[in-house]
Structure 1
Amino acid sequence: MSRQLLPVLLLLLLLGALSPWGQEQGAESPSEEPPEEEIPKEDGILVLSHHTLGLALREHRGLLVEFYAPWCGHCKALAPEYSKAAALLAAESMAVTLAKVDGPAQPELAEEFGVTEYPTLKFFHHGNRTHPEEYTGPREAEGIVEWLRRRVGPSARRLEDEEGAQALIDAWDLVVIGFFQDLQDEDVATFLALARDALDMTFGLTDRPQLFQQFGLTKDTVVLFKKFDEGRADFPVDEELGLDVGDLSRFLVTHSMHLVTEFNSQTSPKIFAARILNHLLLFLNQSLAAHRELLPGFGEAAPRFRGQVLFVVVDVDADNEHVLQYFGLKAEAAPTLRLVNVETTKKYAPADGDPVTAASVTAFCHAVLSGQVKPYLLSQEVPPDWDQRPVKTLVGKNFEQVAFDETKNVFVKFYAPWCTHCKEMAPAWEALAEKYKDHEDIIIAELDATANELDAFTVHGFPTLKYFPAGPGRKVLEYKSSRDLETLSKFLDNGGELPTEEPPEELAAPSPEPPTNSTVGSKEEL
């Protein structure tokens, strides 16, 4: 090959290796990034999928995500409030966006975030996908917004002068101000963390000496200002141990309650959340002047029991029949007092005829708290025909005599009149009683556990079946197997236990446990 042709050949080789557009053959041309998927919205709420969650986290600094199921009643109830909250957030230009995920339709996301029930809400801050915060706030629009506001902004307002502090106190019924000489102290972090979740109170924070002086303080103190009762309650910070969040929380709950609270649908959640175990209830008819005249004396006794006894007024002329039933009372019994320990459910009543005065109320509370008053048990009257049907009717007043009769084997169903599971097994229980009605040593009975209380034990779920075998010793066996006639009969015929039957080897396999009374129709669920 001549030297003259070599440059030409090299040039041809180079040209052949390149495409007409000057790019290497076989190499992919750089393409533009595909446009990111647009996230659909419904009523101002992002509708997320497995593919769009990452995009939403990149685009939104704060993201509250509701995992819902289309068939979930609680989700349907939340939907209008969630949409309203989205509108409120948009109006405030808050840096938070609401989103939702159809959990059953997006199982990967439900599994990733451990969603086991609906609705479940999780808050993602600054795009952090691995550690979302569980939403623990209210399920109404304003509460949702306030919960979010305290996460993306300060949970307590910084107060710089007397004018700002007084304006805050005047604007709200409940205001909590933390007076700290050093705002870098770890007690301040504890205070702010509590403020994030105490949504029914407004929080302020200051280190200004003039504000310490204005409110008569010389050391770190958390002060609750309120527009009722004594107007103010102080919680000094322990100089050695610091600020304990549990102690402060209990203090705020206790002192944010009115000394006397009227029971109604709005106050009942706060009454039961107050963590005060003893509740003293004054039942009266608010439409009667003579009953209303008892309120001052009742309230006069309350301050000395602050934190020990919660004083509650129940108007028998209002929609409070369920409260009367719980205490076994009729409206005609008013005015009257009852004290209940909500942990033990033990109930106490004053002596018949005691007037409702500051002195009598004080004496009654002292007597109960010191153990001088015995609790009472609810009981219906014994029906005249309690033993005339195959299923015998037991009440509190005849239970001991019948159930612990040493000559009888007694099988008792403890039920609630409104319990669906109890109603479903009623035919089998009636058939069982009919089958054994001629057995002199076997009694089939039932007891309404909502209207009758027992000293021997407490019934925690419905229906509960207990077997009391004949003989000494007050033995009690709980029945937890199937509730059909055949299985119940085998239990009785075998002296209070089910016979063990070996299944054929090829069929032998562990069977699932039957539902226990703690999970079927339990009081906690109902």
Structure 2
Amino acid sequence: MKLLLCLTSFILLVFASDVLYYSNKDFVENISTQDLALVEFFAPWCEDCKRIDPLYEDAARILKNNDPPVSLIKVDCTVDTVTCVQYGAQHYPTFKVMRNGEVEDYTGPVTTAELVKNMKYMAGPASKELKTVEDVEKFLAHDDYSVIGFFRNNKSDLAKIYRKVADPVKLKVLFAHTTEQDIKNKYNYNNDIVLFQPKIYQNVYEEPIRKYDGEASTQKITEWIQKQSLGLCSERTNENAKRFKKPLFVVYYDVNFFLNKDHTIYWRNRVLEVAKKFHDAGKDVNFAISHHKTFEPELDLFGLTEKKNRKPVFVPRDKPVVTARDTRERKYVMSDEFSEENLAKFVNDVLEDRIEQYLLSDPIPISNDEPVKVAVARNFDEIVNKNEKDVLVEFYAPWCKQCTIFEPKYKELAEKLKDEPDLIIVKMDATTNELPKPYEYSKYPIIYFARKGNKNNPKLYLDILEIDGLIKFIAKESTNELKGYTRKGTMRKTEL
């Protein structure tokens, strides 16, 4: 009996959860009792959902004790499909913020720290009211960018607009406001919106305190905060990477403002020197620094890593390396050793289209006469996009067992269809060649069909990897009827 009680207690302890589970029958009723909640729509088989589970649990445990508390909820979309469809959960996991009857997408990072931070922002007032000079000093004593509105009163037009702008989750800055005369006298602002750069990022190339002088509109103020909170050259992380606009020049090295401060600042100042010159010249150029280890997969796309066990490994260098993306998402690599002069030259070369874009690509095959044509990144446009034929293209990985099993079938398929005048069969190694847009993959092999009049919208093949199924797919999707097969994929009879 004691053993049974111990086991029961252990099971209850193990399965105790601060995450709430809602179903179709009680979702609407239960969610109406929550002032603020984050809902995860998930599927038990989803690997990303499984990976996130412990992070979500930890965040739920912390946020239940927040003032006010925030609930984290889960809905199993393999069971409670009605609720998932109602809230537009088309992939897993999908996160929705539900607040006082309103629903919005949660687009922040899904880590315990970010979940807690973002939901706390949402739970509290978007803008903190500051009553004393000490309040201001305390508010600014952190390592985040901050914005303070100094208003005549809370009913002024600028104060009303500011309340609409204040969104710490979206803009990734902290907001506060004040109407106290002592504070306004101390900081010498009145009816102004002011951005404060945290001390750790301050430098001699830009003002640490910046006042907004533009039009009093929600859009203009939001855009100004977005730009100013990144400064001339900010640290780019996985969490904020999407905020940086193109053209963007990223300098990679062992960035760490806390553990490696002097080294980090030394190289950042070299970048700031160049960024300042382009800014003063009126050039719309964006700069960032990033930790090379954090962005190894990205550096791999630029050919700046070596592969070990199929994973990118950053090649140690004495100086930073530099990459760029222009407004057309073309990629560039600075081949010269890092220096201020070389960085400035590289920026000008990219802006004036004087440098060849970088493509991760195998060499173009010398001979390409087999029924299955070989595409690489450098000839993909010619073979697939500019080809006046329909194209079936397979993306594969050499180490993929399923790809190895499928390879002879793909060759047999190409042999069967080699005499079709309006069709070519293509394959490309997705591990050594950059995939062009709009092609995407989440597993290998993956097959697309691109019709000759609609190459920008290829059709994904979702059936089993068998020759008959592929022929039926091609016959149905082809621009013109196949010579050897009907639209249903049956072989045409040969006239005697």
How does the TM-score come out when normalised to structure 1? 0.64
Does residue 375 (structure 1) correspond to residue 375 (structure 2)? The answer is no
Match of 1:358 in 2: 340
One-letter code aligned to 1:174: Y
Task: Map 1:16-95; keep pairs closer than 5 Å.
Answer: 42-49=16-23, 52-53=26-27, 56=30, 61-95=35-69
2:288 maps to which of 311, 318, 324: 311
Greater alpha carbon shift after TM alignment, 109-118 vs 224-233: 109-118
Are 2:225 and 1:244 equivalent residues in the alignment?
no
Show the counterpart of 2:141. Answer: 170
Task: For residues 253-299 of structure 1, give each alpha carbon's deviation from its aligned partner in whole angstroms, at most 9, with x where no partner exists.
Answer: 43333755566xxx13312x12411222446689xxx9998665334
Q: CA deviation digits over 1:349-369, x for unaligned, max 9?
A: 45x6x4532233223213322
Structure 1: unaligned runs, 5 residues or longer: 1-40, 469-473, 504-526
Match of 1:297 in 2: 270
After superposition, residues 214-363 of structure 1 pair within 5 angstroms as 214-227=186-199, 228-230=201-203, 232-236=208-212, 238=214, 241-245=215-219, 247-257=220-230, 259-260=232-233, 267-271=237-241, 273-282=242-251, 296-305=269-278, 308-313=285-290, 315=292, 318=293, 321-329=296-304, 338-341=322-325, 343-349=327-333, 354-363=336-345
- Residues 1:156 and 2:127 are matched in the alignment: yes
**Contact residue 466 and residue 478 of structure 1 kept, 8 A:** yes
Deviations along 1:209-232, one digit per CA (max 9) or x if unpaired, are 443343343542232332213462
Of stretches 421-430 and 225-234 in structure 1, the one that deviates more from structure 2 is 421-430
Deviation string 1:365-396 (CA, Å, 9 cap, x unpaired) is: 13322444453545433467x55866454446
1:95-244 matched pairs, under 5 angstroms: 95-110=69-84, 113-125=87-99, 128=101, 131-193=102-164, 194-198=166-170, 200-227=172-199, 228-230=201-203, 232-236=208-212, 238=214, 241-244=215-218
For 2:140, what is the secondary structure of its paired residue? helix
Tell me if structure 1 keeps the 8 A contact 2:278–2:285: yes
Q: Quick check: 1:172–1:202 contact (8 Å CA) kept in 2?
A: no
2:407 alignment partner AA: A
Q: 1:303 to 1:426 in 2, by over 3 A?
A: farther
Secondary structure of the residue aligned to 1:323 is helix
Instruction: Give the residue type in structure 1 aligned to 2:341.
Output: A
Evaluate the alpha carbon distance shift between residue 259 and residue 422 of structure 1 in structure 2; reply closer, same or farther with a 3 A threshold. farther
Are the equivalent residues in 2 in contact too, given 1:179–1:207 (CA < 8 A)? yes
State the one-letter code of the partner of 1:302: A
d(CA) in 2 for partners of 1:93, 1:116: 33
- 1:197–1:186: structure 2 CA closer, same or farther, 3 Å change rule? farther
Tell me how far apart the structure 1 counterparts of residues 328 and 320 of structure 2 sit (CA, whole Å). 22
2:433, 2:148 → 1: CA distance?
Answer: 48
What code does the residue aligned with 1:76 have?
Answer: K
CA contact (8 A) 1:466 1:476 kept: yes
The number of aligned residues is 437
- Deviation for aligned residue 1:103: 4.3
Does residue 1:428 correspond to 2:415, yes or no?
Answer: no
Report deviation, 1:165. 0.8
Q: Which residue of 1 aligns with 2:393?
A: 413
Letter paired with 2:218: D
Q: Percent identity?
A: 23
Question: How far does residue 196 in structure 1 lie from its aligned partner after superposition?
Answer: 4.8
Q: Distance in 1 between matches of 2:385 and 2:48?
A: 45
Q: CA deviation at 1:163?
A: 2.0
Measured at CA, do residues 424 and 255 of structure 1 come closer, stay the same or move farther in structure 2, by a change above 3 Å?
farther
1:443-458 matches, within 5 Å, as 445-448=426-429, 451-452=432-433
Using the alignment, how far apart are the partners of 2:25 and 2:456 within structure 1?
Answer: 55
- Using the alignment, how far apart are the partners of 2:35 and 2:264 within structure 1? 57
1:497 aligned onto 2:467: no
**2:109, 2:239 within 8 Å by CA — same for their partners in 1?**
no
Structure 1 residues 365, 212: closer, same or farther in 2, change over 3 A? farther
Distance 1:90 1:404 in 2: 53
CA–CA separation in structure 1 for the residues paired with 2:29 and 2:254 = 60
Structure 1 counterpart of 2:302, one-letter code: F
Q: CA 1:236 to 1:295, structure 2 compared with 1: closer, same or farther past 3 Å?
A: closer
Match for residue 439 of structure 2 among 460, 481, 485: 460
Residues 44-53 or 85-94, more deviating: 44-53
CA contact (8 A) 2:333 2:358 kept: yes
Alpha carbons 2:360, 2:432 under 8 Å: kept: yes
Please name the residue that 2:491 is paired with.
none
CA separation of 1:319 and 1:87: change in aligned 2, threshold 3 A: closer
SS at match of 1:203: strand
Question: Quick check: 1:122–1:135 contact (8 Å CA) kept in 2?
Answer: yes
Is residue 21–residue 73 contact of structure 2 (8 Å, CA) maintained in 1? Answer: yes
Distance 1:396 1:71 in 2: 34
**Which structure's CA Rg is the greater one?**
1
- C-alpha distance in 1 between matches for 2:90 and 2:266: 52
Cα deviation digits, residues 467-526 of structure 1 (max 9, x gap): 89xxxxx9989985978546877979xx983338477xxxxxxxxxxxxxxxxxxxxxxx
Structure 1 CA distance for aligned equivalents of residues 438 and 270 of structure 2: 37
Tell me what 1:509 maps to: none
CA gap of 1:186–1:115, structure 2 versus 1, over 3 A, is farther
* Matched-pair contact (CA < 8 Å) for 1:336–1:356: yes
Q: 1:501 to 1:61 in 2, by over 3 A?
A: closer
C-alpha separation between the residues in 2 aligned to 1:88 and 1:221?
33
Deviation readout 1:30-57 (Å, 9 max, x if unpaired) = xxxxxxxxxxx95244444455556646
Tell whether the 8 Å contact from 2:326 to 2:350 is kept in structure 1 after alignment: no
Q: TM-score, normalised by structure 2?
A: 0.67
3-state SS of 1:269 partner: coil
State the shift of 1:160 in Å: 2.1
- Contact map agreement 2:395 2:429 (CA 8 A) in 1: yes
- Matches of 2:174 and 2:427, distance apart in 1: 52
SS of residue paired to 1:222: strand
Deviation at 1:183, TM superposition (A): 1.6
For residues 303-332 of structure 1, the C-alpha deviation after alignment (integer angstroms, 9 at most, x for no partner) is 3456622233564xx475533431234567
